[in-house]
Structure 1
Amino acid sequence: MTTQFGDLLKHWREARKLSQLDLGLSANVSARHISFLETGRARPSRAMVLNLGGVLEVPRGSRNMMLNAAGFAPSYRTRAMDEAEMGPIASALDWMLERHMPYPAMVLDRRWTIVRANAMATMMLGQLGLSADANLVEALLDEAGLPALIENWQEVAQHLIHRLRAEAAHLGGDPWLEEMATKLSACVDAAAPGPGTGSEAVIPTRYRLGDVTLSFFSTISQFSTAEDIALADWKIEHLFPADEATRKMVTELAHGLE
């Protein structure tokens, strides 16, 4: 007879495509002990739960669930950004966003809602008809809104579908991300060329703002040692001009924000 902890452990092991032997070797325990934990024949210590959660790269909120299932108090929580210990984090975010000017940059949470944005990103969002705290995935599902302003929408949507599914898989299955990927798939032309042709080094997103087209590619940063539940899922996305015309236009626009 399995326990709730055993079910959770097996779920995450299978989600990471590891055998009991693979997990045991990585966690420095025997495959037999992993089997006993999954079937309920053995009970884990708190240290063992945290060890296995770390090896399996279980998100912090789900590690709390594993701890609770094993009879232990949670280890992780979500902190408000105005708490004293979050001061250095808030300063780092502000530094990254502001130093990226005149180019757009924003902080996104686990479900792609904008948490923070610099002045250029805020201005662009307004021009695209979005608020500074918009959910980008939901905006991309409004066919009369943002997709109509992206010239290479089919390419962008197909890349986003892959990204959403990859993020959902890393989280051990996120129903919302999976649902959004399915909805986006229904919006994509099946006959359109898919990603992976290798014709470009990166696929930029080309936004049409009136008579002007701005072309950007992006990089994503995350906090590598975050223990806060929300902070571990945040992404800092920096947009860079994909051509000289975009660079010049954004630089000119930034002068109006000073």
Structure 2
Amino acid sequence: MTKDPGLSVIIRNKNQAEALEFALYNLTTRYSEDISEILVLDNLSDDTSRAVSLKYGVRFQTIEHFSYGGSANLAASLVSHEIAVIFSAHAYPVSHDFFKLIKAAFKANENLAGVRCIHNSGDYKRYINNVNAQNDPKGVGLIFCGSAFKISVWKKHRFKDDIKTFEDKEWSLRVLKKGYSIITVPAIFCYDIARSKDQEYIRFKNEIFGAYQLWHHDIKFKNALNRFVMTFIKSSRNYVQDLFYGFKKLIFMLRFLADKPEKFQ
């Protein structure tokens, strides 16, 4: 029988104590037999994230100068087991066999560099249709919020820490070219986050930079203007529709209140 390689869970966190509390509760109560260690990699949180981590007895490591690739490299260097599953604090496994499926995939394929799990309809459709990472590295490549990778492969091919984002996709492309494989397994997780407008803007900037660095997606004035116009049209339409249906709901409730005594006699 092949020896169990052990599995480490990495959680990247910044000021998400409430989400972190649930994530750790979920991991420690439902999956304790599948997990060898949990590491919280924290980016200078000023909430109760450290206390929450200590409450559940997991390792807590601070990173001062955060980058997506750099944080993944630091976490990979700190864990003690061959399989690493990386989450953000706002993501957590759902299916009961989540980690068992990941372990089984790595045991069955020594050439496997990483495993992508399922968190939306696109992931599920690609899995059902047997779309592979070689044909669709963007869609089937790793997403470092519910993916697993092999530490021995990482030691040969570290994550790039000089790109704004998409460090997971860049690594996927690189190891695929080296002859490794990446697959999707039907292990289901939830990606649960509500970003502020400022956070959405920061994410947008990072993705523009990352897309340019990784896929050389350039920005033209016409594209930028079209995006703004479409955003304005969509926002205006949504605003009008919200007002319209809000008014319809008000009318319905008023009519319901007026008719209720007769309808329920």
Tell me whether the two structures share a fold, i.e. TM-score over 0.5.
no
Coarse TM-score class (shorter-chain normalised): under 0.3
TM-score between the two structures when normalised by the length of structure 2: 0.23
Give the strand-richer structure, 1 or 2: 2
TM-score between the two structures when normalised by the length of structure 1: 0.23
